[in-house]
Structure formats: C-alpha cells, structure tokens
Amino acid sequence: MPGTSAKEDGVVLGTIGCTVHFHRVELGFALASAFWGEGYMPEAMKRVCQAAFEDDRIARVQALCDEENTRSSRVMQKVGMQYEGRLRKYGHHPNRSDIPRDCVMYAIVRGD
C-alpha cells in the first residue's frame, strides 16, 4: 500500500524468525504480498544480520527458500548473502506441493 505508514497505523507487514545454532543463526522470513517490492524486507534482514554479528560468537547467518521463490532469493542477495547450494527435497511447502521440495541456501559469514 504505497503511501501507508505501517509504523503509524500498526499494520504488521511480515515476520522474521531467528534460530541460533551454536555459531550460526538461521533466519526465516515472510512479508505480506501487498508490501513486496517496497524494500521493507531487505532493510529488516540487513538489521537482523548486523545484530547477529554484534555477538562475537556468531560466525554465520543463513537462510533458505524454495528454489522457485526468486523474490526471497533476491532479498537474501540484497543483504549480502551468497548462494551456497541446493538442498534436494529439503523443504515442505504444503501450499505448493504435498511432497518435499528443493530449497536453495544463502549465507553471510563474519568478514564478508
């Protein structure tokens, strides 16, 4: 919704979840389609990555998405994450298929 200030009207645009596994953080994210292309998710993801690296124990921040989800892949690239590979039959996305689907992994590591 161009022209709408989500901060002022309290609309929830999306979500970012973080799971810490020893030296790495895995991110999951979703954004309401009405807000795609506005730069909200890359900005939020960048800040989450920065916050993760404020902890000296964190060496890596990673995220993955369905291999056909080019918008999410682009978000990860915009925050400096690099493509690391394809995980076969890794993700279960019931809105797309009843069988596990291939996912792609992106990550940024300390010092990138």
> What is the reported pLDDT for 3?
44
> What is the reported pLDDT for 66?
95
> What is the reported pLDDT for 6?
56
> What is the reported pLDDT for 79?
96
Residue that has been written with the tokens 């124990």 in this structure = 57
> What is the reported pLDDT for 31?
93
Work out the burial of residue 34: count CB atoms within 10 Å of its CB; fewer than 13 is exposed, 13-18 middle, 19 or more buried: exposed
> What is the reported pLDDT for 8?
64
Q: What predicted TM-score, i.e. pTM, was given to this entire model? A: 0.85
CATH superfamily to which 6-109 belongs: Gcn5-related N-acetyltransferase (GNAT) (3.40.630.30)
Cα(17)–Cα(71) distance, integer angstroms: 18
CB 14 within 8 A of CB 32: yes
Identify the CA nearest to 62 among candidates 94, 17, 95: 17
Domain boundary assignment for the chain = 6-109
Q: Where are the alpha helices (DSSP H) in 1-112?
A: 6-9, 40-53, 70-78
Question: In tens digits, what is the pLDDT along the chain, a chain of 112 residues?
Answer: 344 445 667 778 899 999 999 999 999 999 999 999 999 999 999 999 999 999 999 999 999 999 999 999 999 999 999 999 999 999 987 778 889 999 999 999 998 7
> What is the reported pLDDT for 7?
61
Cα dist. 10→42, 69, 97 in Å? 20, 28, 33
